[in-house]
Amino acid sequence: MVHPMIAANWKMHKTIPEAVDFARALKAEFPETADRDIVLAPPYTALSAVAAVLKDSPIHLGAQNVHWEEKGAFTGEISAAMLADAGCRYVIVGHSERRTLFGETNETVNRKLRSVLDHNLLPILCIGETLEEREEERTFSVIEEQVKEALNNMSASDIRRFTFAYEPVWAIGTGKTATAGQAQEVHAFIRKLLGDAYGGESAAAIAILYGGSVKADNIASLMAEADINGALVGGASLDAAVFGSIVRYDRQ
């Protein structure tokens, strides 16, 4: 069985004191989390402060983005080495906001993933179709292209370190959640793609998260699906009590 993961993507929200207060509250609520992984991805400015709070806690720290170069004249960018130095374990790569607002392509996503792996960090790779692509019945071809191009030159041992996040763009921050059935259909397709490329055993062990307007009242039905192994949560992750109840999806 795949270990479930609930991850918070705070995007461009929270000052350092707000991030620290949240992390302290969550750490107190989940002193041990043996049966699920919890990840907080604060903005860069709060990474070190949150890392200090999460020390001695099973809750993991994640970053929202990374640059693929090691160091150099890349004003405004942060490398994987810097994220590791700040205490991160996970890095979200290829979020749809990065793709649509900041011009990320499957090729730059692939370079970022390589750098993340080279620094012993664990990628959370986001993929998902737009509303237009879904309406044109191109969901599966778009997902296939995103997965194949992002994973170009990745080995089976690389793949075992991945978490995937299926995030239909039309469901992010819109209040429109994919139905559990719609999400499951795409999750099963992603797992099949991974199985075809890397073998069924590797594919069965990979966590595939769903993201897109996940809330306390829809998480349980999503998690009941066979291929949904967790959630990447944006808006509903900004409040510690609400996020805590999503993490406790099976103990409401």
The residue among 2 and 238 lying less far from ligand PEP, judged by its C-beta, is 238
* Residues classed as catalytic: 95, 167
User: Which residue number has the CB closest to ligand PEP?
Assistant: 234
- Cα dihedral angle (193, 198, 201, 203), rounded to 10 degrees? -40
Q: Which has the closest alpha carbon to 3: 193, 113, 163, 215?
A: 163
Q: Which is nearer to ligand PEP, 97 or 198 (CB)?
A: 97
Residues 6+ apart with CB under 8 A from 246: 6, 214, 215, 216, 219, 231, 233, 236, 237
Cα 7 off chain centre by: 6
Q: Alpha-carbon distance 50 to 133, whole Å?
A: 38
CB of residue 145 to ligand PEP, shortest distance in Å: 20
Query: How near is the Cβ of 155 to ligand PEP at its closest, in Å?
Result: 27
Query: Among residues 113 and 236, whose Cβ is nearest to ligand PEP?
Result: 236
β-strand partners of 163: 124, 207
- Summarize as ranges the residues that interact with ligand PEP (CB under 6 A): 9, 167, 172-173, 211-214, 232-236
Q: How far is the CB of 41 from ligand PEP (least distance, A)?
A: 9
Q: Which is nearer to ligand PEP, 123 or 235 (CB)?
A: 235
CA distance to 27, 31, 177, 246, per residue, from 38 (Å): 10, 11, 21, 11
Name every residue whose Cβ is closer than 8 Å to that of residue 239 and which is 6 or more positions away in sequence: none
Q: Pick the closer one to ligand PEP by CB: 110 or 213.
A: 213
Burial class (CB in 10 A: 0-12, 13-18, 19+), 121: buried
The CA distance from 166 to 115, in Å, is 22
